[in-house]
């Protein structure tokens, strides 16, 4: 029975998750793969959906006119339908273009802010064509390196203005804010799920503004991702998920799920289970990258391994000795509760 329940989770990844190993200190270590290759890789893995940046869906998006963009999005939709892969979400990539050097929605330059909003509206149109009502906002450059360079109070208003413009552009769209406390910025304006859900309340349509939790981002904020999951799900606002792992407070590592901390991963799975994540069609996405050392013939391992570990932890969550644990909780014997968890994870 546990097995058939476990199979109710549906998995997803993005084309950027087949990365080539480049880091700030060295070049690619694997050949770039084509979009078609990535699509069939997802199928081979048994994943059911793909997530898209707007320019993953329509490459070189800024050089194309709106009609061309929609035409290419329609062609993509046909290919996805042909493969039986859904588009989970679309995310405007607002951190590459020269117009977003000083931030996108919170740029000090009005013209650049307009670019960011227009591009987001176009991403919403692409989402419509691809058959998803989810726009993900990783607010990469909304923050500052230098506190005095921006008015953080005004930036809250600018963010609300941008969210409102997106919500008004299409009454069906839902916005999932993906908080990350730092990198590339020194500090981001919406660093945690609490911030994301709070700003939702300032918009014209709070019920259409929710969030996406990435394990590594919560860890970078010094938080436990499982508490973030419980918090978001108490509001019914966890609309997507980027599971991965992170070893402490350093650059965003995007390691395979559970790679660094099995217990933290176990608790994320328990939180998803107790809240019924996936029941409304949400996907489990892995925002993971191959290690730089990964050979081309092992290109899919980081995704396959993350999925397999996730499913193993689902079994662990379901076979957790709840009664025994509750008795220890009632006795305030957290000392032995700790051991119970460790022994359970060790299979003892
Ligand atoms: C980077 C983010 C990034 C987003 C993606 C979707 O730290 O995790 O990978 O998830 O761009 O918006
Ligand atoms: Mg992510």
Q: What is the DSSP string of 110-176?
A: HHHHHHHHHHHHHHHHHHHHHT--EEEEE-TTSEESSGGGS-HHHHHHHHHHHHHHHHHH-TT-EEE
How many Å lie between the centroid of ligand 1 and the Cα of residue 162? 19
Count of other CB atoms within 10 angstroms of residue 162:
23
**pLDDT, tens digit, 9 for 90 and up, residues 142-168:** 999 999 999 999 999 999 999 999 999
Using CB atoms within 10 A of its CB, is residue 203 exposed (0-12), middle (13-18) or buried (19+)?
buried
**pLDDT, tens digit, 9 for 90 and up, residues 237-290:** 999 999 999 999 999 999 999 999 999 999 999 999 999 999 999 999 999 999
Q: What is the DSSP string of 36-88?
A: HHHHHHHHHHT--EEEEEHHHHSTTGGGS-HHHHHHHHHHHHHHHHHHT-EEE
User: Under a CB-based contact definition with an 8 Å cutoff, are residues 11 and 46 in contact?
Assistant: yes
**Is the predicted pLDDT of residue 36 greater than 80, yes or no?**
yes
For residues 283, 257, 220, 239, the Cα torsion angle rounded to the nearest 10 degrees is 10
Structure tokens at 210: 């929710």
**pLDDT, tens digit, 9 for 90 and up, residues 10-34:** 999 999 999 999 999 999 999 999 9
Q: Which atom of ligand 1 is nearest to the CA of 214?
A: 8
How many Å lie between the centroid of ligand 2 and the Cα of residue 242? 5
Q: What confidence score (pLDDT) does residue 1 get? A: 37
Q: What is the DSSP string of 307-338?
A: HHHHHHHHHHHHTS-HHHHHHHHHTT-HHHHH
Q: What confidence score (pLDDT) does residue 214 get? A: 99
**Is the predicted pLDDT of residue 212 greater than 80, yes or no?**
yes
User: Under a CB-based contact definition with an 8 Å cutoff, are residues 168 and 204 in contact?
Assistant: yes
User: Is the previous residue joined to 184 through a cis bond, with omega within 30 degrees of 0?
Assistant: yes
CA–CA separation, 60 vs 22, rounded Å?
A: 21
Name residues contacting ligand 1 (CB within 6 A): 91, 136, 138, 178, 180, 214, 242, 252, 287
Angle made by CA atoms 71, 74, 76, in degrees to the nearest 5: 115
**Is the predicted pLDDT of residue 6 greater than 80, yes or no?**
no
Residue with tokens 């899919």: 300
Catalytic residues: 53, 56
**pLDDT, tens digit, 9 for 90 and up, residues 276-305:** 999 999 999 999 999 999 999 999 999 999
**pLDDT, tens digit, 9 for 90 and up, residues 77-126:** 999 999 999 999 999 999 999 999 999 999 999 999 999 999 999 999 99
- Across the range 173-180, mean pLDDT stands at 99
Residue closest to 227 by CA, chosen among 257, 264, 253: 264
pLDDT band at 4 (very low <50, low <70, confident <90, very high): very low
Q: Which of 137, 214, 215 to mutate to test the pocket of ligand 1 (most atoms within 8 A of CB)?
A: 214
pTM of the model: 0.97
**pLDDT, tens digit, 9 for 90 and up, residues 298-347:** 999 999 999 999 999 999 999 999 999 999 999 999 999 999 999 999 99
* Total count of residues recorded for the chain: 348
Q: What confidence score (pLDDT) does residue 305 get? A: 98
CA–CA separation, 184 vs 187, rounded Å?
A: 8
pLDDT band at 3 (very low <50, low <70, confident <90, very high): very low
Q: Which of 87, 178, 180, 217 to mutate to test the pocket of ligand 1 (most atoms within 8 A of CB)?
A: 178
CATH 3.20.20.150 is held by the domain 5-322: yes
Q: What confidence score (pLDDT) does residue 84 get? A: 97
Radius of gyration of the chain, Cα coordinates, nearest whole angstrom: 20
Q: Which ligand is nearest to the CA of 289?
A: 1
How many Å lie between the centroid of ligand 1 and the Cα of residue 138? 6
Q: What confidence score (pLDDT) does residue 294 get? A: 98
Query: Which residue has the CA at smallest separation from atom 2 of ligand 1?
Result: 138
Query: Which residue has the CA at smallest separation from atom 11 of ligand 1?
Result: 138
Kindly give, in sequence order, each residue whose CB lies less than 8 Å from that of residue 221, ignoring residues fewer than 6 positions away: 179, 180, 181, 191, 192
Q: Which ligand is nearest to the CA of 19?
A: 1
Q: What confidence score (pLDDT) does residue 262 get? A: 98
**pLDDT, tens digit, 9 for 90 and up, residues 38-85:** 999 999 999 999 999 999 999 999 999 999 999 999 999 999 999 999
Long-range contacts from 264-267, C-beta under 8 angstroms, 24+ separation:
264/215, 264/219, 264/224, 264/225, 264/226, 265/215, 265/309, 265/313, 266/313, 266/316, 266/317, 266/341, 266/345, 267/224, 267/225, 267/226
């Amino acid at each position: 029975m546990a097995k058939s329940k476990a199979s109710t989770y549906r998995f997803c990844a993005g084309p950027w998750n087949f990365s080539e190993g480049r880091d700030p200190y060295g070049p690619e270590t694997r050949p770039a793969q084509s979009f078609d290759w990535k699509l069939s890789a997802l199928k081979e893995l048994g994943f059911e959906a793909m997530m898209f940046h707007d320019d993953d869906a329509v490459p070189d998006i800024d050089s194309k006119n709106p009609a061309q963009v929609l035409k290419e999005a329609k062609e993509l939709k046909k290919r996805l339908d042909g493969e039986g892969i859904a588009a989970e979400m679309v995310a405007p990539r607002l951190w590459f273009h020269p117009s977003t050097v000083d931030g996108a929605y919170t740029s000090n330059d009005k013209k650049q802010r307009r670019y960011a909003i227009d591009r987001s509206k176009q991403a919403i149109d692409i989402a419509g064509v691809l058959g998803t009502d989810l726009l993900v906002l990783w607010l990469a450059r909304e923050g500052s390196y230098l506190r005095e360079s921006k008015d953080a109070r005004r930036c809250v208003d600018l963010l609300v203005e941008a969210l409102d413009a997106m919500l008004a552009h299409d009454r069906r769209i839902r916005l999932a804010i993906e908080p990350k406390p730092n990198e590339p910025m020194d500090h981001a304006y919406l660093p945690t799920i609490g911030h994301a859900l709070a700003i939702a309340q300032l918009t014209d349509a709070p019920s259409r503004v929710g969030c996406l939790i990435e394990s590594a981002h919560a860890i970078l904020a010094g938080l436990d991702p499982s508490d973030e999951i419980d918090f978001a799900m108490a509001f019914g606002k966890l609309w997507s998920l980027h599971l991965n792992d992170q070893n402490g407070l350093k650059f965003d590592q995007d390691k395979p799920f559970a790679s660094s901390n099995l217990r933290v991963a176990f608790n994320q799975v328990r939180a998803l289970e107790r809240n019924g994540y996936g029941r409304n069609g949400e996907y489990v996405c892995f925002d993971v990258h191959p290690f730089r050392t990964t050979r081309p013939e092992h290109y899919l391992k980081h995704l396959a391994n993350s999925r397999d570990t996730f499913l193993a932890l689902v079994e662990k969550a379901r076979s957790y000795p709840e009664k025994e644990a509750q008795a220890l909780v009632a006795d305030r014997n957290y000392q032995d509760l700790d051991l119970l968890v460790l022994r359970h994870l060790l299979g003892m």
